[in-house]
Each structure stands twice: as C-alpha cells, then as structure tokens.
Amino acid sequence: MFDQYFIQIITALASVIIAFVAIILSIVAIYADRRNQQSTLQWDEFETYEKIWEKKIEAETSRDKKKCEDYYREVIDLLWAQFYLWNEGYFSDEMMFIWQSTRRKLWQDNNCIEIDEGSPVFYRNEWQKLKDTFFLGENDPFVAFIDDIHSNDDIKYVLQKHKIKYFFWKINCKLYKLRLTISILYNNYLCKC
C-alpha cells in the first residue's frame, strides 16, 4: 500500500516536472523564433532601403519628376512598415531612434531632388501630398508619429509617446471589432426571431 502511494507521488511529481520543462522549452522556442523573425525583418528592411537608395540615385540622375515622386513614396512606405514593425517589437528603440533622427534631418534640411522641368521635388511636399490623399488613413497613428518627428527635436520623447498612443490605438481597434461582431451577431439573432 505504501509502495503504491509512493509510486503515485513520484509519478505525479515527474509529470509536473515534465510539464514545467515543456513550458520552459516552449518559451525558449518562441523567443528564438521571435529573434529569428526580428533578424529576418531587419535584413529585409535593409535590403528594401538599398533598393530605395538605388531609386534615389536613378531619380537624381534621370531628373525625372515621376521617378522623384516614386522615390519619396517608397521612402514613406518604408517608414510606414518600420513604424508598425517597431510598435510590434520587431525593431529596437535604438534602431528606430537612428532612423527617425535621419528623417528629422531630412525634414529640417528640406531635402529635395532637382529635376529638368519645373521646380525640384521636395520631401516635405511629397509627405503632404500623401497625407492629403487616400494613401494614408485619416486616423492612422503613423501620420501623427511622422508629423511629431518632423516638428520635435526630442526624438526619444516622440518614440515613447507614440508607443503608448499606438498601444491604446490597438486596444481601440480591437474594441471596435468586438462591438462590430456583437452587433452582427445581435442582428443575426433578431433576424432569426
């Protein structure tokens, strides 16, 4: 009787230890996968940046207005991706600080590309055009973030502020989806009655 009780205790203890080890190994695997994703995304962003840099050189040498506008659009697309990936934890604050400090300098210097016909194509003007079109949503937190980067000397403060704002924006989006789902389910229920 005592031997059987002892065996059950040992078996239960071994099960708990195995479960604990499995949880630890799962956490380590998830962390390693996340680090791998971070490295892959960072590499992809650098490759994208290289392609955009080639577009800049092409725009500068061709002096074509359309190529200049496309270049700035690609830059803003990259910034948009970096913003959302940073908020999801794929890029460090330090990396984002470096990128946004560069963005701030381009804004302050009023960066432009000279073209053959007409006035130069300015980063500021292209940013404003994209903000005014359907390309960027009216309530997109990215727009407020970049506007803050352009107008604020304290980049670290802007990064902290928008990380918090993005967190609440995500919660608001999830609550909106929940309200929408409940509304749809309620309407479906009313239709069946």
Instruction: Tell me which H or E stretch contains 9.
Output: helix 2-62
The pLDDT assigned to 1 comes to: 57
Residues 6+ apart with CB under 8 A from 63: 113, 114, 115, 116
Overall average pLDDT of the 138-159 stretch: 80
pTM reported for the whole predicted model: 0.62
* 137 confidence band (pLDDT: 50, 70, 90): low
The pLDDT assigned to 33 comes to: 67
Query: DSSP per residue over 95-158, as a string?
Result: HHHHHHHHHHHHHHTT-EE--SSSSPEEHHHHHHHHHHSTTS-TT-HHHHHHHHHHH-S-HHHH
The pLDDT assigned to 41 comes to: 67
